[in-house]
Amino acid sequence: MKSSISAVLKRNLTSTLTRSITFALALSASQSLFAHEGHEHGITDENITVTTLAEGLEHPWGMTFLPNGDMLVTERAGGIQRLTKDGKLSGRLANVPRVVAQNQGGMLDITIDPDFASNNTIYFCFSKASDVEGKTGSSSSVAKATLTNTGLEDVNVIFSADSIVDNGFHFGCRLEFDANKYLYVAMGDRYKYMKEAQNTDNHFGKVVRINRDGSAVKDNPFTDGNAPEVFSYGHRNIQGVTIHPDTGAVWAMEHGPKGGDEINILENGANYGWPEITYGIDYSGDIISDKTHMDGMKQPWVYWDPSIAPSGLTFYQGDMFKEWNGDVLVGSLKFTHLRRIHVADGKPGEQFEYLRDNGARIRDVEVGPEGAIYLLTDAPNGKVLKLTK
């Protein structure tokens, strides 16, 4: 018995030491990419004008631009508002479906149809009350609707994840269309069920790819299984999805646990490792996995350790901050700043922080048609901020 206990202790000690060394190396690597206070190209906070376009929004979460320059903004508590380009809020639009506004759940991301100019169709992702085959709780769901001057018409839920859980955590719910007019929807692991992120027969911890009617795209990788909508898997809690302006590739950013936030370039059928590999540990300090690499699992384009709690992801394209063209912009909830990652030859370079003194949790980042940068602040009295130079 003593020898058996000794062997177990030895294995645990070896695993802990290995993990400690791995994290030391990871921290060193991440610090080499960590943000600088001095800014490249001479652009500092002093060169950026911050205008509050709107305030009084209840935890604004997602935004999308309309062709005329107006914006739709979601409120996690359950609302969608229209914001005119001169800063006037519509009030909550009518006929928005009820959401489960619990913890991280509620009305989340929003986007417009690729043919919005001719069909006035929008899509939004929200936590929907679900009771299916004895499973009761909420799930990430996508609805499409026709936008009118005062509200929504023809509201139709086109997709609901089978990850129905009675908690308010890890919904994912970011939306993005690609050049083929396929809709990518991020699904979180719902916190309790992290191991299911490796099971391609369900929607836990997945990115799904669907047509505009909610059906699975024909060349999705797992169309013979129980979750034909799945495009990629092994994700934890995606908080940003965007399309690379040159390659057309889908990029996704997700929260790690304590450490290990990451940006990934998505590929059809690829496994991004969670929770079998991770650069993070549990919030309790326990080891989730002692591995950061495994055969058949993709490595992130970049990761953060310690975590910055990133939210909102886009590439800068425009003339206003033309020095930043091609760089990645993300918000930080934890450290309350806008972060820019310089991209050099497709690889992550130096990172820079802006607006740290504002003390605002940045939930979403978008680039407007005129090249200005727009931010949502996650607060009971949330704001839409416009950055110009």
Contact 121, 112 (CB under 8 A): yes
Q: Which two tokens stand for residue 273?
A: 């490792």
Question: Residue 305's closest CA among 16, 15, 21, 31?
Answer: 31
Please pick, among 59, 170, 203, 255, the residue that the annotation labels catalytic: 170
Contact 219, 268 (CB under 8 A): yes
Contact 158, 214 (CB under 8 A): yes
Taking the C-alpha atoms of residue 76 and residue 380, their distance in angstroms, rounded to an integer, is 10
**How does DSSP classify residue 98?**
P
Specify the DSSP element, H or E, that contains 173: strand 172-177
Q: Which two tokens stand for residue 204?
A: 């836990």
Q: How far apart are the first and last CA of the chain?
A: 71
Q: Which two tokens stand for residue 265?
A: 């370039």
- Element counts in the chain: helices (H) and strands (E): 2, 25
Specify whether 170 is catalytic.
yes
Catalytic residues: 170
